[in-house]
Homo-oligomer: A and B are copies of this chain.
Amino acid sequence: MPPTRREKQHAITREEIKQIAWEQMRQQGTAAISLRGIAREMGLTAPAIYRYFPSRDDIITALLMDAYTQFGDAMEAAAQQPAPSIYEQIVTIGLAYREWAVNNRIQYELIFGNPIPEYAAPAELTLPLARRAFVPLISAILEAMQMSDWQPKAHIPTLTPRLIDAMQPRWTAEGVPLEGVYLATRFWTRVHGMVTLELYDHTPPLIGDASEFYRLEIISLLEE
């Protein structure tokens, strides 16, 4: 049955609450959600917010899920762009990672940043979304590894028995080569380090043009 007029209005009000909450986070950080502030902005009082979200935690969870969804959308869109080679597809994914982060930094901070006091993300909701965002990268790397001209194989260190033992329970059932997971993790941690230190203003004082540094590094990541 299609939603009633009232249900539509309810959903619109939920979106409005979320938009104002995002704006509060942009202004004051991810830990700065204020229900009274949101209500004030809407011309309401704080108890009215409880008609739309059971608690402040539920608002934060909704924002976090939206952030993961948008992130996954961006990674999937990047992976689906036509690319001359699989290697350039990986570069495209890497560039898209930073672009999404720079253009959506408060979402990035919410996903990857410090915990919010007295809030714990419900893993049963966020883990599937987190995996979804990671899949385009690991798929591309696994595809690259199948290429006859696959080069960086030489640069994977020999996986130690200790690391193999740690990884196998998570990936053997899925038939995913451990070297692929290793390379995807390497790529991800490198990309993430550059983006995070740039967004939090640690590398720009050193390197000046963090965007250009990132571009050069993304390209050289596949030449190593």
Using a CB–CB distance below 8 Å, which chain A residues touch chain B? 28-32, 109, 112-118, 127, 130, 134, 155, 157, 159-160, 162-163, 165-167, 169-170, 181-182, 184-186, 188-194, 196-197, 200, 202-203, 205-209, 212-213, 216-217, 219-220, 223-224
A119 nearest in chain B by CB position: B29
Question: In the complex, how many angstroms separate the beta carbon of A141 from the nearest chain B beta carbon?
Answer: 12
Q: A163-B207, A190-B193 are in contact. Are A213 and B30 (CB under 8 A)?
A: no
Chain B proximity of A218: nearest CB distance (Å)? 10
Q: Which of B29, B157, B185, B190 sits near A31, CB closer than 8 Å?
A: B29
Q: A215's closest neighbor in chain B, by CB?
A: B160
Establish whether residues B160 and A29, one from each chain, have CB atoms under 8 Å apart when the complex forms. Answer: no
Copies of this chain in the oligomer:
2
List 12 A-B pairs, Cβ < 8 Å. A29-B114, A113-B113, A155-B220, A157-B220, A159-B216, A163-B212, A163-B216, A166-B207, A186-B217, A188-B203, A189-B203, A192-B197
Please report the C-alpha to C-alpha distance between residue A209 and residue B170 in the assembled complex, in whole angstroms. 11
CA distance A212 to B217 in the complex (A): 24
Complex CA gap A144/B165 in Å reads 35
Judging by beta carbons under 8 Å apart, are A163 and B202 in contact? no
Contact B189 A114 (CB under 8 A): no
Cα distance, A217 to B159, chains bound together (Å): 11
A74 to B162, CA, bound (A): 28
